Amino acid sequence: MKKKLLVLVLGFIVFTCKSNDDEVSVTPQFYNILSLGDSYTIGQSVCDTCRFPEQLKDSLVAGFPDVDSFSLRVIAQTGWTTTSLINAIDNENLSNTYDVVTLLIGVNNQYQNRPFSLYEEEFPLLATKAIELAQGNVNKVIVVSIPDYAYTPFGQGFGFSETTSEDIDQYNNFAEGYCNSNGITFINITDITRQGLDNPDLVASDGLHPSELAYSLFVERLLPVVISKIQ
């Protein structure tokens, strides 16, 4: 018969499972996740647990041993540009102890007609800051591509869908190229959002932002990458 004993060893809780003469001990692990971005990270128009960082955390909790724990911090606001995010990070008292840092930024630079040169200047600054916050380890950083809001009722209603998609491609191509040149993981989710007109369930109730379903599809791509980075 299997017996479970709870043992306290040197301040760590160790769960010991005994079966016959075999013994397996699991030391609890604590993981810190930081998500940086704008409305696509804060989850505009979806519930707090529906945004992709929360879904990602919940998926990690479900897949890891019960003794492990995950802490998530989100620094993001609707309407933030790269400049806004830089200022927000500078104003926060952040430690450089995160096990994974995600970065998704740029759509408001495009929407607010900021010069593309600003993104070319500030995206590398944000990527560098993300690496610093991820214990200085470039392998712990994930850049997520910018969704394409042209494939939403809002985007179609304003009649700028074609130029919007071209602009989004420009931003994503720059970010991906920078990431590839600097050993940063880049995950493309833009194609998911470009199904928004064919599948309205991918668009939130505001007709603009990704829905809970869309974010779950983001997480399907993010999850195995995150697991590989923290195990």
In a domain, 15, yes or no: no
pLDDT in tens, 76-120: 999 999 999 999 999 998 999 999 999 999 999 999 999 999 999
Q: Is residue 7 domain-resident?
A: no
The pTM of the full predicted model, rounded to 2 decimals, is 0.88
* Residue of higher predicted confidence among 20 and 143: 143
Report the percentage of the chain scoring pLDDT > 70.
88
How confident is the model over 184-201, as pLDDT tens digits? 999 999 999 999 999 999
Q: How does the average pLDDT of the chain come out, rounded?
A: 90
Residue 10 belongs to a domain: no
Question: What CATH number is associated with residue 42?
Answer: 3.40.50.1110
| Residue at 106 is within a domain | yes
pLDDT band of 39, cuts 50, 70, 90: very high
In a domain, 206, yes or no: yes
Q: Can you state the angle between helices 161-182 and 116-133, rounded to 10 degrees?
A: 40
Q: Where are the alpha helices (DSSP H) in the chain?
A: 39-42, 52-63, 82-91, 107-111, 116-133, 153-157, 161-182, 190-193, 212-230
Indicate whether 157 belongs to any domain.
yes
Number of domains within the chain: 1
Q: 3 pLDDT exceeds 60? A: no
The domain of 152 spans: 29-230
